[in-house]
Amino acid sequence: MKILAVESSCDETAVAVVEDGRRILADCIASQVALHREYGGVVPEIASRKHIEAIYALADDALRTAGITRSQIDAVAVTYAPGLIGAVLVGVNFAKAAAMALDVPLIPVHHIRGHIAANYLAFPDLEPPFLCLVVSGGHSMIVDVEDYTAFKILGSTRDDAAGECFDKVARLLGMPYPGGAALDKMAADGDERKYPMPHTKLSGDPLDMSFSGLKTATINLIHNAQQKGEALDIPSLCASFSLAVSDILIPRVEQALVLTGRKKLAVAGGVAANSRIRADLERCASELGVACYMPPLKLCGDNGAMIGAQAYYEYLAGNLAGQDLNAFATMPIDG
């Protein structure tokens, strides 16, 4: 089954062709990073406009790359939630038009479910159930993937997402957007123990996370140094901050693995490209005797292929949409 998949939830216009949920025939992306870098972050109105400008030609590129014609498309899939509402609407409207014109099923896909499904593309042998750490710009959660379309959130952030904190700290340090990648690169040359960072303790669910206190403490440290005219060891600050984020995530992943008894651990989302987090997850899995699945960096960020992968299993489960499909800025993964 060949699925034309569309992703436009933020600042990447992406169209892919995926076969049977596991094989990428084409994965075309029109990046807006250079455009938004001028503003230090994504400007929603600009992102939406650029999606409109790029999406039609990108779909043709995907078909050419896949070496197929429009008549060979069996279904059209699209991210319908969550994301920047104007950006998501562009993809949804394009997908509805394409599905109608081609007279094929329309498959709605939750963006975070798509990130998890990126693992199916990287690891053809991976099947549920497994535990997945989702860390992206807007989401941080530990998900029990019970089946291809059955998810249970075991823990999540109560405030900021890890990726958001990386980007905000990086921006304050004068690093170019997207800041998380630049901060990770800088951290490679630093001393991760030089700047002690706070570790938030939460009441209630032990698997829940909080990053706002860490973010605020880091911002205050930077501001205080600037006000006093003191020089900061930027690589070491980046390394210390990365370690603190990992120290919030990894113990909860370990606890979730013990509680669920899962023997497979996957990671998903753009922050999954962070070298510190990847190394600590591998160590965690090794110590617990758990198989660890981490997709290549190109599949960690937003892409159309991940939407096509999850769409295949949504189709098998009968989760289809009509021409009344709408876009949503927020929606739980297990909703």
Give residue-wise pLDDT tens across range 110-123. 999 999 999 999 99
Looking at per-residue confidence, does 240 or 35 come out higher? 240
The three-state DSSP-derived secondary structure of the chain is: CEEEEEECCCCEEEEEEEECCCEEEEEEEEECHHHHHCCCCCCHHHHHHHHHHHHHHHHHHHHHHHCCCHHHCCEEEEEEECCCHHHHHHHHHHHHHHHHHHCCCEEEEEHHHHHHHHHHHHCCCCCCCEEEEEECCCCEEEEEEEECCEEEEEEEECCCCHHHHHHHHHHHCCCCCCHHHHHHHHHCCCCCCCCCCCCCCCCCCCCCECCHHHHHHHHHHHHHHHHHCCCCCHHHHHHHHHHHHHHHHHHHHHHHHHHHCCCEEEEECHHHHCHHHHHHHHHHHHHHCCEEECCCHHHCCCCHHHHHHHHHHHHHCCCCECCCCCCCCCCCCCC
Q: What is the pTM of this model?
A: 0.93
With bands split at pLDDT 50, 70 and 90, how would you rate the model's confidence at 138?
confident
* 214-255 pLDDT, tens digit each: 999 999 999 999 999 999 999 999 999 999 999 999 999 999
**Domain 2-117+301-316 adopts which CATH fold?**
Nucleotidyltransferase; domain 5 (3.30.420)
In the chain, where does the domain assigned CATH 3.30.420.40 lie? Answer: 2-117+301-316, 128-294
Q: Which CATH homologous superfamily contains domain 128-294?
A: ATPase, nucleotide binding domain (3.30.420.40)
